[in-house]
Structure 1
Amino acid sequence: MTLHIRDPEADRLVRMRAERKGIALTDALKLAVGNPLRRDAETFSLRERIRLIQERIASYPPSGLEADKAVYDEISGDA
């Protein structure tokens, strides 16, 4: 499969990246496109991040301790 870059600016940028890195044009193009794609895949929405945190907390074993009003009062400074 071939990719023909007709945009002179895009061609210039890929060639500049290849020259600076000392790599082939194909490798420079893969780096230029691959890195942002990987970052995009690693980016989670707020909802997804919260879900991951909730799942991690839910995976903790129960402590066996029971929290009552005295515990909450102590935490909040109302003791």
Structure 2
Amino acid sequence: MALSIRDRETDEAVRRLARLKQKGLTETIREAVENELKRVQGGTPLVKRIEALHRELEKYPRTGMKADKAFFDSLNDE
């Protein structure tokens, strides 16, 4: 099977990535496509990730302290 890339910018991007990874063009394209497929198909949606972070943060007790200018100045010994 053949894949013909007629777009100069795409061709250059693939070649740059292949050089950086020190791999052939076919392997570079395959890895890039497989990684993108995993990201699109198997990834957790952003909303779900944010909800999980929110649940994790809710486990910590509220101190009532405010992160105002004085707080940040104290971190820098000002």
What secondary structure sits across from 2:2 in the alignment? coil
Distance across 1 between alignment mates of 2:23 and 2:12:
15
Counterpart of 1:7 in structure 2 is 7
If the length of structure 1 is used for normalisation, what is the TM-score?
0.52
Post-superposition CA distance 1:31-71 (Å, at most 9, x none): 221101011121356xxx7xxxxxxxxxxxxxxxxxxxxxx
What code does the residue aligned with 1:8 have? R
2:20 & 2:44 partners in 1: Cα distance?
A: 32
Q: How does 1:1-79 map to 2 (within 5 A)?
A: 1-43=1-43
Query: Which consecutive residues of structure 2, in runs of 5 or more, have no partner in the other structure?
Result: 49-78
CA distance in 2, matches of 1:44, 1:18: 28
| Structure 2: distance between partners of 1:18 and 1:43 | 25
The residue matched to 2:37 in structure 1 has which SS? helix
Q: Provide structure 1 residue ranges, at least 5 long, that are not aligned to the other structure.
A: 50-79
RMSD between aligned residues: 1.9
The separation in 1 between residues aligned to 2:36 and 2:7, in whole angstroms, is 20
Matches of 1:44 and 1:21 in 2, distance apart?
27
The total of aligned residue pairs comes to 47
- Measured against aligned partners, the alpha-carbon deviations of 1:5-44 in whole angstroms (never above 9, x if no partner) come to 0000000000000000000000111122110101112135
Q: Runs in 1 of length 4+ with deviation above 6 angstroms?
A: none
Q: TM-score, normalised by structure 2?
A: 0.53
Aligned to 1:57: none
Indicate the percent of aligned positions where both proteins have the same amino acid.
39
